Chains A and B, each alone.
Chain A
């Protein structure tokens, strides 16, 4: 509440500064409205409405105040009076300093009647200042709190054991960055503190320090070298155990003639846990070469090697990657990427064993600046674990059409089809799982006609095979300009969810929002 008051006070202070305004468009929009919420069914199953509250709402939209000296104040305070508030405010002067504050919160519901829920709130602030031309300080703090109760996902059993949660994580950071000869050096120190009010056994903290540097090689500025070091120490209070991570990395990139470029990167991380004296090393080496033909195409291929070694178990992964694009016409682009990773257990025996993962994605897009876009994407991933005798295959096809006629408005339709297949062949009782999803989304927004603008949107979702879920959302809205700076808008939104395999997993929600928005200038 105090954070809310602080930010609200800041917004009021912005108004008080009106007397020194110089820019003609200083100002913002004040929005006052009311949300009506009518729900029926299981409140735990529809996440779109988890964070919707009924009641009067007050917002300050995109307030900006610019002084003649270049001082820029901004505020965007959404739903100040409701529990799903989302607030941002700050003051800055480009090239000199900047301070910003934010706060937002939302909830998740876990029980049929909505009585069991968790609320997460996040607040923080950032600052930066540049006392010298080539040097700036920065820092900030974050505070994340989650509290309430949640229900373990006992699907198909109907069990409802509520688990309480109430924790706070705070983080403070401070650092400095300098810019020299086209390069940069950055230092940052950050602390974390996790405090659990219900289970103090879980209290822990962390300290981390990082340094990062980039530097073009003098006289050979087409070659850039880079490197960094990262140290983090996690400490668990109750058991007095520690996990210490040290990471060092370096890289080089050379931009060669004729559109060629070469990349190399090396990373070494050592993680040492004080329990059982476990120690894991991760070593990653990446090499890539690229060739580009400006305006019409490019291709890049790479190789990566990853080694993970914890003194007992050792795995080695070899990865091949390729990507490319071609633009045969300024309006048509084709893109694709592919990678495959083969991870082998060289010594020891890990939980997952040998693993083979392949990912791919191909897309084509037609863009016309006057009429709209048409695109088609195909992507998938396949993962097999031979030792476990399992296979996961996941495929998605997406098509999107956007029609953009400036005289009338914009329409967009997207269709996606997903197919997921999980084969757990080694289980005592062979246990396969499949789903296929269809998702259709669409929106229509009209241009202003006699001071009226309309919008229509909807999403239809259908999940089949081992799940049988249907849900949809529909939104209809209109805006009417009472005066150039005064707008009345109303939106009706309907949300429906049905799981046809489980009786109590159904939900219907109707939400009506009415706002009146007043623009103002200072």
Chain B
């Protein structure tokens, strides 16, 4: 890595090296020093730092075969030889303080990075030089390598989402019941999305609403040509309206529906009612293609939809 940095200013040299890397085996570039300091040398001064590595796969001395490596301090921290002679902060690298590209080079010595694999879509994390350590904590101490109970990894950058959770209606992220990663697949986005619909994510917790139903509300089903999904109506982070709705329900429904009869019939008595008073099964129904409440006859005092004026509407 230091070799690469040294020739970074020489365009011709860099081009040669890149061509060689491109055509040759992609085994990680490693420090070529002959005698790097041992872990015990590092721990002489950094006493106890090894304990923060013990719960995870970076436990010092761990051996891995693919690629062949024994985890040591110098696996991630470059410049140790100089640091031993001059124990200044500037003489050794810390991946968490490196620019994204430099940290990426360090981590990909052993790891196949997400950005090189299955994020074939257009993921902003892949282009904006995110440092691996933004999400993965290596010296984990009492925290797992990546577990975002309080959204502490995501929200410092996604502030709009953070304040969204302060709204009147919100998903329980701050309460610790779910995390950002419960819904957002930062990695492996191409996986586990049957039917290419957003409902595949939501149905994990909301199976009753996700269907499939014999009579489906087109806006709910991402696999239909309407290309909708749950977020057609709901703001998942937070909303000033109940049930995370983007608008109060009457307004929301009128975005797509202009039911003339509801406003004129019965002297306009239904005009001010919320649509869901009757269309209770709005996500989908097993019996009604208008998503009407199966028990509505009893509720409104007449069997309007079975034997009455609206009998043609199931």
Contacts and interface: CB of A to CB of B under 8 A. Distances in A.
B128 interface: yes
Contacts, number: 327
Contacts of A345: 225
Interface in B70-109: 97, 99, 101-102
Interface string B127-170: 11100000000000010000000000000100110110011111
Contacts of A405: none
Given A133-B65, A257-B22, A427-B258, A396 B118 contact: no
Contacts of A57: none
B130 to A, nearest CB: 10
Contact of B163 (A310, A416, A428): A416
Contact of A45 (B8, B102, B168, B172): B168
B218 A414 contact: no
B128 A161 contact: no
Given A309-B225, A431-B254, A257 B118 contact: no
A388 B195 contact: no
Given A220-B23, A295-B101, A155 B55 contact: no
A314 B208 CA distance: 29
B51 to A, nearest CB: 6
Contacts of A416: 159-160, 163
Given A47-B170, A310-B225, A439 B196 contact: no
A224 B117 contact: yes
Given A280-B225, A290-B127, A398-B163, A257 B57 contact: no
B277 interface: yes
Contact of A433 (B19, B248, B280): B248
B181 interface: no
B51 A414 contact: no
B120 A253 contact: yes
A150 to B, nearest CB: 9
B55 A74 contact: yes
Name B's interface SS: loop
B39 interface: no
A51 B177 contact: yes
A148 interface: no
B6 interface: no
Contacts of A431: 250-251, 254
How big is the A interface, by class? 35 or more
A314 B190 contact: no
Given A247-B195, A350-B225, A390-B255, A64 B249 contact: no
A94 B62 contact: yes
A257 B195 contact: no
A352 B196 CA distance: 18
A441 B163 contact: yes
Interface in A408-443: 414, 416, 420, 422, 424, 426-429, 431, 433, 435, 437, 439, 441
A234 B156 CA distance: 39
Contact of A202 (B101, B256, B286): B286
Interface string B203-220: 011011001111000110
Interface stretch (B30-38, B238-246, B301-309): B238-246
Nearest to A212: B191
A348 interface: yes
Contacts of A348: 225
A153 B122 CA distance: 37
B109 to A, nearest CB: 12
| Most chain A Cβ neighbours within 10 Å, of B8, B156, B188 | B156
Contacts of A469: 168, 240
11 contacts: A94-B57, A155-B274, A157-B277, A208-B194, A212-B191, A220-B23, A257-B22, A294-B101, A317-B227, A345-B225, A441-B162
Interface of B: 8, 15, 18-19, 21-26, 51, 54-57, 59, 62, 64-66, 97, 99, 101-102, 112, 116-118, 120-122, 124, 126-129, 142, 156, 159-160, 162-163, 166-170, 172, 174-177, 188, 190-196, 204-205, 207-208, 211-214, 218-219, 223-228, 240-243, 245-251, 254-256, 258-260, 263, 272-274, 276-277, 280, 286-287, 299
| Ranked 4 nearest A-B pairs via Cβ | A221-B26, A265-B120, A251-B120, A294-B101
